[in-house]
Structure 1
Amino acid sequence: MYANEVINSLLRNQTFSRDQVCNHPYLDPFEPSIMKFYRDVGSLRCSEDGNWIKVNNGTFWIDKEARLRHGKISCQYAPIYRKDEDHFRVGDKKSFDNEVISAPADVIQVSCQSGLFGAKYSNVHTTVAYNREVHERVNKASYDQLYMPLNVLMFGFDSVSRNTWLRTLPKTHKYFTEHLKGIVLKGYNIVGDGTPQALLPILTGQTEIELPEARRGKPDAKVVDGHPWIWNDFKKSGYMTQWGEDMCWIGTFNLRMLGFDKQPVDHFWRPYCQASEGLHKYNKPFCLGSERRHKVMMEWVKDGFQMYQNRLKFIFAFHSEYSHEDSSTLSWADDDLLGMLKYLEENNYLNNTMLILMSDHGARFHAVRESMQGKYEERMPYFSFRFPTWFKKKYPSEFKAFKNNANRLTTPFDIHETFRDMMKFENKPSENEKLPRGMSLFKPIPKHRSCTDADISPHWCACLGWNVVSATDPITKRAAASIVDFMNSLTEKFRSKCHSLSLKLIKSAMVMQSNPYIARFLGSADVDGRVPKESKGAVDKSALYQITLQTTPGEGVFETTVKHFASVDKFVISEREISRINKYGSAANCVYNDAPHLRQYCYCK
């Protein structure tokens, strides 16, 4: 398909509501031109020799099957503790053989040998260890003050659009929507570029720019401990808190930011991630012995439910290594994610849990991202909720609002407000006519909500209608040149390290005038809301250009939204609306320590 044909099909095939300002396009998940970017990756096979150590609910022991295969086995274990954000320490070693051991820490290093000269085993395991301080705190908690005393389990994958979830996790999606009656947010829209811009609004209610400076290399930058993390609010309300993400070497709050000084939650995945990553090269890809690495994270989640069975918990687990750069391999997680959901349901854990399956954004660095549909999908990640079966009866108005909101424009800011409403529900009418940026999903979101209302810039708004413009158009060419000049200005202080970039190619360009439905819509002209009331006045004359271009040297591909003010013939560009959509790898290592936030623009000399 040519770009203009794709654009037209996207804008025609909408589940369109005439009286709703924002309508996301309908995109066929299995459209042939998109499916060519996906491949069958088969099954993920790890070591056939099963792991010698079993771990569950804060305990570990030597597996019976390992004894049958290898005879007498003697082992040593040592606890691993977090030292700081970048280091861990190993405790004293102790021997064991036949007994079940209570884990002294969430992470344990184990080495074993069969007989005097037999086979050896070495691995790092994780569980949710018994922590007396945490248990005493949560056992004292009274949940009477909470509006919705529910566990929160949020499990996510990096870079998964709503459509990619359907393509790669079909079994999980079917079970979640048909058996568990989960609700998918079909109007969910990102508010910025990358994982931090997705997770910070969810976890803090603010953007990175609004929060205290935490970027490496920036004056007065500080660790992120002082951010208003939602897990601290849950902790104050008596919850156990648990948070983890894999690929810790590019952690969401560590790659560009200074990370945490103190451990942020009761049970933290990062020490396990750091202690185990050195073993990756000795194992099959994505495996630790016979265990698939993603399943280790799922077992850790299950351990959290077992260890704190009757107490409330906030658990957020985020997995990246399958989907960060290649969506096809995400299919390896389908059976195990389905298994985790079935385990939680069959053991009655979901009867008191708000379950969230989600992603931060769609594909950013995959080949599909350069297709027109891929651009839209990046802006529409998978986000879904499931409530206990009794929830509808106890909270009828909140459940009704939530169901209706599933088809409205929603954002990460709304997830944060939804969490806050769980703890303390306030149903006071706003005295301000302007809609708040974040709106709880337990309250009606109006149909007239726009991307502007939700603080979504035009670059990220999936409900805007763009029209293809020629790459040879004079304004387009000048806009592209201004983008390259702007990027060069960002790296000017590092010119001794970074090349000055030049425009090599305009790959595609689109222009958008104000959406007429947004610009002219005033409300409904009839009591049924079927006839729109529109103004006949002039609309904003400014134009937005979305340009995908390639620079040299380095062959970087960028997608940028630039605003053109025709009256003064001026281009305005924001760094927030520049996306690097191909990998830069080690080409920017010269500014990795001094200015990691500039890596996407820097091609080292």
Structure 2
Amino acid sequence: MTQYYSDIINNYFLESNKILTGEKTAENSLRRYLINTSGCRIPYINPFDKTVLKYYKYVPPHMCSDRKPLIESNQTSIRIVKSELKNYDVKNIKELLCGYVEFSVNNKIQQQQVKKSYDYENRKRFHSFEDSVNIYSEFIQVLCFYEMKKIYEDFHTFIIPKKAKFEIDPIKKTKRDNDDDNSEKLSVIILGVDSLSRLNYLRQMPKTNEFIRSHKPFEFFGYNKPTDYHLDKYMRINEKLIGNHLIGVSYYCLGNRFVTDFLLDYANKFILNMTYSNKKYWSFFWATALTHDYLNVPSNNDMSFLKIFKSLVNNNVLNNSMVILMSDHGLRWGSIRETFSGRLEEHMPLLLIFLPDWFKKKYKTAVKYMRENAYKLTTHFDLHETMKDLLNLNNFKEENLNDRILKTRKDRGISLFLPIPENRTCETAGIGVSWCTCNQIKKISIGNRNVKKAVQVSVKYINSLLKNYNRCAKLKLSKILSASLSSTNEDLVIKSKNKISDFIVSFLTEPGYGKFESTVRHLTDINKMSVVGHVARINSYGDESKCIFNENLKLYCFCI
């Protein structure tokens, strides 16, 4: 075991009561269930359980370059970092020419000009500067030449105020403002991390986690998976021109900088610009590159997220914003996905919510409900309702809360500022059987007659999806890997009198040796089986499906 994980594990067991998983960590570690309500039981799993620890390895921080950036940016300008000139072999500063090119991601002509490899002679629209310069464009390409040869290239973003695309009716705006009991409103900042389960966050981002805990967020242990400013086109240009260290389909680096730092630097600039301008806003930033395909690489994000959270604290952003750190789901394939913990983790993403101290004091009942909901079954649907709640702070008045509780108890999505029913089930929360973590699971023999039939039904279902694609092979069963029975009842024994039995089966097919997992429902009274939800691919398909462009069917197609 590496010293890295040894340190994290020691920290987890020694300090967990204080910083890792909230007030009930010690209690949870001694009991069977993390969530234990009449409608849902989710088992407690130690993030460092020996059954999963063997899949983890220390991935050292990746170095994009042995040289630091030659040009840095702040909120309004760029500057040459003269202390770095020697690392770029610049001996005579008079021979150095640095400048920038403005471009718009929506202007195809400008995009094509930026995509050209600029040399010393091809410098149209090139604005040179000697030390620093203020920038008035949202996107710029920066270049430096020394002795007429290009030695440096990078991209920077800036937050430039934009005109509103539509005007709010002044009468409606005045009425809306008057409806609130004060002028205080919350901005919303969502920082998302793709494919990162709550447990893998604890393993991979300990420094961020420890800092975050000191500011007492609400952590949702039963979270189960269902603009004017955007970076997508900008990032694609970056990847084509300065992307490097390609791992799988993702770049680690853009020029000298870590790809996550590009995104979070933009997020930080946007947040600070809006904060300093005293504007209220809703923002959504989603990091994908280093977490979507890898179990251990997310550790490289730790310092990046720690940096932005420190900035939010130091600039008092938490005092006027709801800040959310979240993910969509856990890792969906790989060796760990074949374990019980890995399967559970895929369905249990991360959700941490920060609220200002003044808000907690003023709306004590609503905040009390949020605290209690941390130990109930919750979903993305609930988070959506929570966002809607923030549009009007009157929603959090005591009398309004009581009235709304009765109206929303049976809704699929319920604001986290309202009490989630104690008897909530996956069905009432809108979670399909395939994704439900509340059901009790018991392993059963792969030789069970119903298990064999469930696997046959699953393979037949996959082939039915591929029947119109003659470039995809017809799949055959190679091997049954595991089988379990899923039940909401305490009694998990298969009985012929049961009307419904849900089988979770994993199996291997050929050609290609794809590993799949499916949930098959058996209606015992009529002896009928059918796939519930979808069949999940739990190992990577690589280039096996390159002959097909349907993203959903790539999971199943083996090209012939």
Q: TM-score range by the shorter chain?
A: 0.7 to 0.9
**How many Å apart are 1:356 and its aligned residue?**
0.7
**How many Å apart are 1:65 and its aligned residue?**
2.7
Q: Which consecutive residues of structure 1, in runs of 5 or more, have no partner in the other structure? A: 1-8, 192-264, 519-537
1:129 corresponding residue in structure 2: 159
Deviations 1:306-350 (A, max 9, x none): 222211122211112222121211111212211211111011111
Q: Is the 8 A contact 1:548 1:558 kept in 2?
A: yes
2:195 corresponding residue in structure 1: 159
1:378 corresponding residue in structure 2: 346
**Cα 1:281–1:89 shift into 2, 3 Å:** closer
**Cα 1:10–1:305 shift into 2, 3 Å:** closer
**Cα 1:10–1:565 shift into 2, 3 Å:** farther
**How many Å apart are 1:363 and its aligned residue?**
1.2
Q: Secondary structure at the match of 1:588?
A: coil
Structure 1 residue 478 corresponds to structure 2 residue 453: yes
Give the Cα separation in 1 of the matches to 2:436 and 2:107: 39
Deviations 1:46-103 (A, max 9, x none): 2232212212224323333345652243123222323399x95557622221264444
Q: Is the 8 A contact 2:205 2:299 kept in 1?
A: yes
For normalisation by structure 1, the TM-score amounts to: 0.76
Higher RCO (C-alpha under 8 Å, 6+ residues apart):
1
Give the Cα separation in 2 of the matches to 1:408 and 1:456: 14
Deviations 1:250-282 (A, max 9, x none): xxxxxxxxxxxxxxx111011221111123555
Structure 1 residue 369 corresponds to structure 2 residue 337: yes
1:57 corresponding residue in structure 2: 75
Q: Which residue identity lines up with residue 556 of structure 2 in the other structure?
A: Y
Give the Cα separation in 2 of the matches to 1:123 and 1:287: 11
Pick one of 284, 289, 298 that aligns with 1:316.
Answer: 284
Structure 1 residue 448 corresponds to structure 2 residue 467: no
**How many Å apart are 1:517 and its aligned residue?**
9.3
**How many Å apart are 1:540 and its aligned residue?**
6.1
Q: Is the 8 A contact 2:325 2:352 kept in 1?
A: yes
Q: How does 1:521-540 map to 2 (within 5 A)?
A: none
Deviations 1:475-509 (A, max 9, x none): 11111111111111111111x21111111111101
Structure 1 residue 506 corresponds to structure 2 residue 472: no
Q: How does 1:209-224 map to 2 (within 5 A)?
A: none
**Cα 1:348–1:12 shift into 2, 3 Å:** closer
Q: Secondary structure at the match of 1:560?
A: strand
**Cα 1:322–1:407 shift into 2, 3 Å:** same
Give the Cα separation in 1 of the matches to 2:360 and 2:453: 55
Q: Which consecutive residues of structure 2, in runs of 5 or more, have no partner in the other structure? A: 1-27, 115-123
**Cα 1:513–1:443 shift into 2, 3 Å:** closer
CA RMSD of aligned residues (A): 2.9
2:233 corresponding residue in structure 1: 271
Structure 1 residue 185 corresponds to structure 2 residue 208: no
Give the Cα separation in 1 of the matches to 2:129 and 2:295: 42
2:535 corresponding residue in structure 1: 578
**Cα 1:517–1:170 shift into 2, 3 Å:** farther
1:254 corresponding residue in structure 2: none
Give the Cα separation in 2 of the matches to 1:112 and 1:84: 24
2:32 corresponding residue in structure 1: 13
1:462 corresponding residue in structure 2: 437
Q: How does 1:199-598 map to 2 (within 5 A)?
A: 265-280=227-242, 282=244, 286-309=252-275, 310-424=278-392, 425=395, 427=401, 428-429=403-404, 435-494=410-469, 496-516=470-490, 541-574=499-532, 576-592=533-549, 595-598=550-553
1:40 corresponding residue in structure 2: 58
Q: Secondary structure at the match of 1:459?
A: helix
Report which stretch shifted further, 276-285 or 146-155: 276-285
Q: Is the 8 A contact 1:483 1:560 kept in 2?
A: yes
Fraction of identical pairs, as percent: 30
Q: Secondary structure at the match of 1:180?
A: coil
**Cα 1:410–1:517 shift into 2, 3 Å:** farther
**Cα 1:93–1:361 shift into 2, 3 Å:** same
Q: Is the 8 A contact 2:35 2:376 kept in 1?
A: no
Give the Cα separation in 2 of the matches to 1:286 and 1:16: 37
**Cα 1:290–1:430 shift into 2, 3 Å:** closer
**Cα 1:181–1:431 shift into 2, 3 Å:** closer
Deviations 1:454-489 (A, max 9, x none): 011121111110111111111111111111111111
Q: Is the 8 A contact 1:323 1:330 kept in 2?
A: yes
Give the Cα separation in 1 of the matches to 2:106 and 2:130: 31
For normalisation by structure 2, the TM-score amounts to: 0.82
Q: Secondary structure at the match of 1:357?
A: strand
1:28 corresponding residue in structure 2: 46
2:125 corresponding residue in structure 1: 93
Q: Secondary structure at the match of 1:133?
A: coil
Give the Cα separation in 2 of the matches to 1:358 and 1:513: 29
Give the Cα separation in 1 of the matches to 2:458 and 2:444: 17
Q: Is the 8 A contact 1:62 1:97 kept in 2?
A: no
Deviations 1:536-571 (A, max 9, x none): xx9962100111111111111111011111111111
Q: Secondary structure at the match of 2:223?
A: coil
Q: Is the 8 A contact 2:508 2:514 kept in 1?
A: yes
Q: Is the 8 A contact 1:107 1:271 kept in 2?
A: no
Deviations 1:365-396 (A, max 9, x none): 23211111110111111111011121111111
Q: Is the 8 A contact 1:50 1:289 kept in 2?
A: no
2:105 corresponding residue in structure 1: 82
Give the Cα separation in 1 of the matches to 2:180 and 2:78: 35
Give the Cα separation in 2 of the matches to 1:433 and 1:163: 31
Give the Cα separation in 2 of the matches to 1:89 and 1:268: 19
Give the Cα separation in 2 of the matches to 1:407 and 1:385: 14
